[in-house]
C-alpha cells in the first residue's frame, strides 16, 4: 500500500488546527512537517511550538523533515514534540551515521534526504541503517515548484540498491507531485508520496486526498 503524506507547509495557517483534524479523518497516512531554518534553505517555516500544539489534534504519523543545519542539536526536542519519523539531509550533517543512530535511540524511525543534485551513492553505506530515504523532487525551500524529471531515476536507483541492502525501506518522494505525475513517481519505486499544494488547493482537502490515493492504490 502506497502511503500519502500531506505537507502542512501548504496548509492555511489561520485554520491549521481545523485542517489537521480534517487530515486525521482522511485517508492520509502521514502528516509531513517541513522544518526550515533560513540557512540550509532560503526560507523559514515553523518549529517546536507549532508541532507540539498540533500533536493533540491527530494520531497520524508525524513525518518531520528537517531542512536545517546541524540537525543533531535538536533531535531530542523534536522527539518530545511528537515526531514519529525524523528525516535529516545528507548535506547538513558531517556525522550522519552518528545522528541516524541517535534518532533511533529514541525508539522512532530515522530517515535521510537527498537534494536533487546529490548522488544516491553518497548514502549507499547507510541504506541498511535508515528506515526511509527521501528523494527531493524539487530544490528544497518552497512549495509549489515544478517537478524535476531526473529525480525519477534517483528513486529507481534507491529501489534497486535496497533490494539487497534493505528491502523493507520506505522510499519517499517530495516536491511538485500531484494527480498528473503521482503514478510515475510510484512506478519508479516510491512508496511514500508527499503532496502539499495538490492536497490543500481549493480548500478541498478530503476530495484531493481521495483523488491522489485513487491514482496510486
CA–CA gap between residue 128 and residue 140 (Å, rounded) = 25
The pLDDT of residue 141 = 80
**How long a stretch of residues is the chain?**
217
Q: The pTM is what?
A: 0.96
CA–CA gap between residue 12 and residue 149 (Å, rounded) = 28
Instruction: Give the closest residue to 111 by CA, choosing from 119, 125, 121, 99.
Output: 99
The pLDDT of residue 10 = 94
169-203 pLDDT, tens digit per residue, is 999 999 999 999 999 999 999 999 999 999 999 98
pLDDT tens, per residue, the chain with 217 residues: 899 999 999 999 999 999 999 999 999 999 999 999 988 998 889 889 999 999 999 999 999 999 999 999 999 999 999 999 999 999 999 999 999 999 999 999 999 999 999 999 999 999 999 999 999 999 988 777 899 999 999 999 999 999 998 989 999 999 999 999 999 999 999 999 999 999 999 989 999 999 999 988 7
Tell me, what CATH number does 37's domain have? 3.20.20.70
Considering its fold, how many domains does the chain have in total? Answer: 1
CA–CA gap between residue 80 and residue 99 (Å, rounded) = 17
Binding residues for a divalent metal cation: 32, 34, 65, 174
CA–CA gap between residue 21 and residue 30 (Å, rounded) = 13
Q: Which domain holds residue 131?
A: 3-216
The set of catalytic residues is 34, 174
Q: What is the DSSP string of the chain?
A: --EEEEBGGGS-GGGHHHHHHHHHTSS--EEEEEEEBSSSSS-B---HHHHHHHHTT--SEEEEEEESSSGGGGHHHHHHHT-SEEEEEGGG-TTHHHHHHHHHTTTSEEEEEE-TTS-GGGGGGGTTT-SEEEEESS-TT-SSPPP-TTHHHHHHHHHHHHHHH-TT-EEEEESS--TTTHHHHHHHT-SEEEESHHHHGGG-HHHHHHHHHHHH-
Binding residues for substrate: 7, 65, 141-144, 174-176, 196-197
CA–CA gap between residue 156 and residue 29 (Å, rounded) = 23
Please list the residues that pair with 62 across neighbouring strands.
31
Amino acid at each position: 500500500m502506497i502511503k500519502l503524506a500531506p505537507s502542512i507547509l501548504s496548509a492555511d495557517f489561520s485554520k491549521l488546527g481545523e485542517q489537521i483534524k480534517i487530515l486525521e479523518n482522511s485517508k492520509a497516512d502521514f502528516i509531513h512537517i517541513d522544518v526550515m531554518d533560513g540557512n540550509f534553505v532560503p526560507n523559514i517555516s515553523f518549529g517546536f511550538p507549532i508541532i507540539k500544539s498540533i500533536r493533540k489534534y491527530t494520531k497520524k504519523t508525524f513525518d518531520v523533515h528537517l531542512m536545517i543545519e546541524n540537525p543533531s542539536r535538536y533531535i531530542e526536542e523534536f522527539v518530545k514534540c511528537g515526531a514519529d519519523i525524523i528525516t535529516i539531509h545528507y548535506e547538513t550533517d558531517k556525522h550522519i551515521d552518528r545522528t541516524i543512530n541517535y534518532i533511533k535511540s529514541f525508539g522512532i524511525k530515522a530517515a535521510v534526504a537527498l537534494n536533487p543534485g546529490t548522488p544516491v551513492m553518497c548514502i549507499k553505506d547507510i541504506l541498511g541503517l535508515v528506515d526511509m530515504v527521501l528523494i527531493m523532487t524539487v530544490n528544497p525551500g518552497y512549495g509549489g515548484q515544478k517537478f524535476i524529471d531526473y529525480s525519477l531515476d534517483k528513486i529507481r536507483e534507491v529501489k534497486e540498491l535496497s533490494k539487497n541492502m534493505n528491502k523493507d525501506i520506505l522510499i519517499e518522494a517530495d516536491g511538485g507531485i500531484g494527480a498528473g505525475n503521482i503514478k510515475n513517481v510510484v512506478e519508479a519505486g516510491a512508496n511514500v508520496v508527499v503532496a502539499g499544494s495538490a492536497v490543500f488547493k481549493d480548500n478541498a482537502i478530503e476530495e484531493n486526498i481521495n483523488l491522489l490515493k485513487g491514482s496510486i492504490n
